């Protein structure tokens, strides 16, 4: 079709991204072409940027990266119903096959043939993104585009925190201060959990956690986490542990501060094998819950309502904006040793 657009590419199997002019994709019969307005950088993009072992095994360059965004529908495929040109949308990044066992048993989010936007198919760090209409999500017209752009990662936390729907009045300890840790703190607070205890690594994010409604922020290295959480919960321990790091120490601390009969929510991905005192969780009668993705689309429905009500406001997490062309600078800020940033947004037109 001859139209060109700017895009952030993993061009070759090597570290880094390049900003390049590429063809605007044509929408297939079941697709939407979306004019991207804002996009957010995720830890996954950092892995792809660094070209680590996981990326080398998974990513097939050239690929347009990015999977968190919002924009307006520019074109609808011939089979698409329910979306119109101009609609303000975001997208679920998990693209299910629709035919495997999970897909046919209400578990599309963990489809056996799952493809991920910006990982297995061209993503959204570009002026236009082509997405299957089946994963598009219509936003309310007035939604702040920064908020609309982070719904995919926020949805991880909405799903993870509300997974058992008994959160109000419960003591929650969130381990980790990456996006998942920050967003989970916000969701737990919005859902009425008390106290919400955030266990962080990077001091820069302490004030973000406080703004998000954390009742107690502890540093996993400097503070005696186990004693302080135990004291804050009158010796009982927390009802819910949100393990958002995959880090050995956090997993141990989480398993220790969980009360008997509590829920250990496993979301963080360990870099390699870790040890876990499973016996202690068994004797505690704990529920261990693995979380991946977002329920499609129950999580999106709840999240949308929580955002519309104003009870959930993830904006304190967003600290930086960069034009798409400045992706390299953005990636440097993102991996600064002291992590002096929260979520970073790319702005386009």
CB of 108 to Zn ion, least distance (A): 6
223 in Cβ contact with 204 (< 8 Å): no
From CA 343, how far away is CA 178, in angstroms rounded?
A: 9
Cβ contacts of residue 236 below 8 Å, gap of 6+?
171, 259
Given the residues 37, 44, 189, 245, the one annotated as active site: 44
The question of whether 44 is a catalytic residue gets the answer yes
CB neighbour class for 219 (10 Å; exposed up to 12, middle 13-18, buried from 19): middle
Name which of 111 and 161 has its Cβ closer to Zn ion: 111
Return the DSSP state at 126.
B
Give the dihedral sign, CA 154/156/159/160: negative
Residue 76 known to be catalytic:
no
CA distance 10 to 201: 30
User: Shortest approach of Zn ion to residue 222 CB, angstroms?
Assistant: 29
If the CB atoms of residues 111 and 251 are measured against Zn ion, the closer one turns out to be 111
Q: How far is the CB of 282 from Zn ion (least distance, A)?
A: 32
CB of 41 to Zn ion, least distance (A): 9
> What is the C-alpha to C-alpha distance for residues 158 and 161, in angstroms, rounded to an integer?
5
Helix, strand or coil, per DSSP, at residue 130: strand
Give backbone dihedrals phi and psi of 28, rounded to 5 degrees, phi first: -75, 175
Which parts of this chain interact with Zn ion (CB under 5 A)? 42, 96-97, 100, 103, 111, 113, 153
Least separation in angstroms between CB 95 and Zn ion: 9
Measured CA to CA, the distance from residue 313 to residue 140 in angstroms comes to 15
Dihedral Cα 202, 208, 214, 215, nearest 10 deg: 80
Q: Could you say which of 47, 256, 320, 347 is catalytic?
A: 47
Of the two residues 45 and 74, which places its CB atom closer to Zn ion in the complex? 45
Q: Which is nearer to Zn ion, 226 or 333 (CB)?
A: 333
Q: How far is the CB of 325 from Zn ion (least distance, A)?
A: 21
Q: Which residue has the tokens 């009500």?
A: 309
Name the residue nearer to Zn ion (CB basis): 97 or 228.
Answer: 97
Q: Specify the residue, 100 or 143, whose C-beta has the smaller distance to Zn ion.
A: 100
Positions annotated as catalytic residues are 44, 47
């Amino acid at each position: 079709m001859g139209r060109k657009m700017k895009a952030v590419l993993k061009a070759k199997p090597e570290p880094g991204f390049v900003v390049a002019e590429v063809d605007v994709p044509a929408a297939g019969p079941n697709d939407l072409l979306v004019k991207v307005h804002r996009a957010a950088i995720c830890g996954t993009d950092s892995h792809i940027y660094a070209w680590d072992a996981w990326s080398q095994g998974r990513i097939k360059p050239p690929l347009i990266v990015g999977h968190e965004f919002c924009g307006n529908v520019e074109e609808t495929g011939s089979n698409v119903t329910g979306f119109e040109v101009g609609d303000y949308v975001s997208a679920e990044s998990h693209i299910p096959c629709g035919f495997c066992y999970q897909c046919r048993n209400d578990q599309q989010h963990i489809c056996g043939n799952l493809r991920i936007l910006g990982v297995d198919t061209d993503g959204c760090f570009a002026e236009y993104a082509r997405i299957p209409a089946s994963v598009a999500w219509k936003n309310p017209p007035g939604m702040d585009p920064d908020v609309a752009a982070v719904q995919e990662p926020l949805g991880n936390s909405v799903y993870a925190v509300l997974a058992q729907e008994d959160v109000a009045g419960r003591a929650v300890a969130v381990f980790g201060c990456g996006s998942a840790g920050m967003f989970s703190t916000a969701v737990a607070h919005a859902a009425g959990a008390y106290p919400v205890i955030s266990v962080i690594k990077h001091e820069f994010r302490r004030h973000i956690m406080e703004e998000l409604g954390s009742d107690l922020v502890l540093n996993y290295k400097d503070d005696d986490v186990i004693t302080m959480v135990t004291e804050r919960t009158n010796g009982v321990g927390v009802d819910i542990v949100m393990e958002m790091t995959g880090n050995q120490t956090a997993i141990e601390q989480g398993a220790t501060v969980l009360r008997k009969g509590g829920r250990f929510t496993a979301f963080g991905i360990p870099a390699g094998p870790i040890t876990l005192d499973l016996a202690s969780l068994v004797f505690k009668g704990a529920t261990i819950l693995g979380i991946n993705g977002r329920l499609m689309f129950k999580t999106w429905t709840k999240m949308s309502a929580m955002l519309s009500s104003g009870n959930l406001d993830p904006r304190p997490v967003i600290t930086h904006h960069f034009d798409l062309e400045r992706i390299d600078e953005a990636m440097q800020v993102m991996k600064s040793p002291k992590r002096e940033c929260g979520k970073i947004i790319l702005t386009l037109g």
